[in-house]
Amino acid sequence: MESIMEEVVIVGAGIAGLATALALKRVGIRALVLEKAECLRTTGSALNLFPNAWIALDALGVSHKLTPLYPPLTTGSITDVSTGAVRQISLTGPFSGKREGPRPVHRKKLLEALAEELPPDSIRFSSQLASIETEQLHSAKDTASLAVVHLKDGTTIKSKVLIGCDGLHSVVAEWLGLSAPIHSGRSAARGLSVFPQGHGLGSSVQQFLDVGKRAGVVPLNDNEVYWFITCQGDHRTYDPSTIQKEVLEHHAPNFPSIYLDVVRHSDLCSLSWAPLMLRNPWNIVVGNVSRGNVTVVGDAMHPMTPDLGQGGCCALEDAVVLGRHISVVAEEVARALGAYVKERKWRAAGLVTASYVSGWVQQSGRNWWRQLLRVVFYSYLFVVLARGVNFDCGKLPIAKAEEGEVEAESSKLD
């Protein structure tokens, strides 16, 4: 059986895992990323990155790779499907602060931009986590512990720090004792549509509201459009053709033709349908988000519904904050992780709550008090919630000689 010793082990090579590995690299600490798949995961065709995400990507040193490819969104509209009423919204006000509006990006491009900045041997693919334990080390100086992960192929890897970035059904979060994510009562279909001759939608986001349903189309560039629909209930359809048919014939047959046309142009390989899950916000605040030298980042910590588009954005923030805390007190790992959790838990819990409330209000029924609540939401509360997307997670203290000295700098964790 193979046994390996590493400074830091990160479980999961999604957005959170790669961003965390890059944040640690920027401060001079090497990390090994374990990914159960055979290559980078591309589940989820696209995502919106709001100003808070671009601030984090600036800190990580990769934003310049993406901004030339994806123009910012400037305007949007919300259509009431039953009445035809249209409400115009601006994405350059509370959504952008002093920066440009949100930019939708291909998930694959974001993952590649992060991975390209890591050393070639940083990601170990086909590495599925089986179990976790800790091992106490006793020395003349003090008592420390190692995190020990056992992989399903029989490999054992020991590390001074273990970071779970393994998503919604996180093995690391379960080991820490965090409660399992709960069902929001809704599910979502998502896809990417391709228009070889151009879609003609410009850079405007369009949303469509009906009782118990919310849908939207988001242009990525002149030829590709990301679309989604969220519905009440627990729909678990996996066949792409079935997903497309269900949306067109059962969930959105009365939606405007512009939405239906986008769905018809779907790249079937990009389609997915899954329940929308979240972690109880109180569990994030009072639960064990870290224990000793083990913690979690991204969806492993704070799975949330997509109604504010903050899942991936918040994961990028996490990575920068964690990297900064480890760089400051790297010799005291438990203290560094505790400081990271203290800084992040209230913001994460707040975003989980705000996202859930946003979705509930937007997809509520048509009785008078629910309609009044929706008016109040869009007139006042939505603006307040939108300001959260301008959050500044801060910068990273870049290592003096980042390239070529990661091995030497890793001694900070001793």
Model confidence pLDDT, tens digit, residues 342-396 = 999 999 999 999 899 888 776 555 665 556 665 566 555 666 666 678 899 999 9
DSSP 119-188: -TTSEE-S--EEEEEEEEEE-SS-EEEEEEEEETTS-EEEEEEEEE---TT-HHHHHHTPPPPEEEEEEE
Q: Among 232, 149, 225, which Cα is nearest to 185's? A: 232
Q: Among 393, 173, 358, 385, which Cα is nearest to 284's? A: 173
Read off φ and ψ for residue 296, nearest 5 degrees: -135, 155
Half-sphere exposure of 400 (CA within 13 A, CB side): 2
Dist. CA 322–CA 29, nearest whole Å: 12
> Crossing angle for the helix pair 333-362 and 311-328, nearest 10 degrees?
170
Reply yes or no on whether the pLDDT at 139 is more than 90.
no
Per-residue model confidence as pLDDT tens digits over 57-72: 999 999 999 999 998 9
Query: Exposed, middle or buried, 192 (CB in 10 Å: 0-12/13-18/19+)?
Result: buried
Question: In this predicted model, which residue has the larger pLDDT, 332 or 400?
Answer: 332
Q: How confident is the model at residue 96 (pLDDT cuts 50, 70, 90)?
A: low
Cβ–Cβ contacts within 10 Å for residue 281, how many?
20
Question: In this predicted model, which residue has the larger pLDDT, 85 or 164?
Answer: 164
Q: How confident is the model at residue 410 (pLDDT cuts 50, 70, 90)?
A: very low
pLDDT at 12: 97
CB 383 within 8 A of CB 94: yes
Dist. CA 224–CA 267, nearest whole Å: 10
Q: Going by C-beta distance under 8 Å and a sequence separation of 6 or more, which residues neighbour residue 242?
A: none
pLDDT at 205: 93
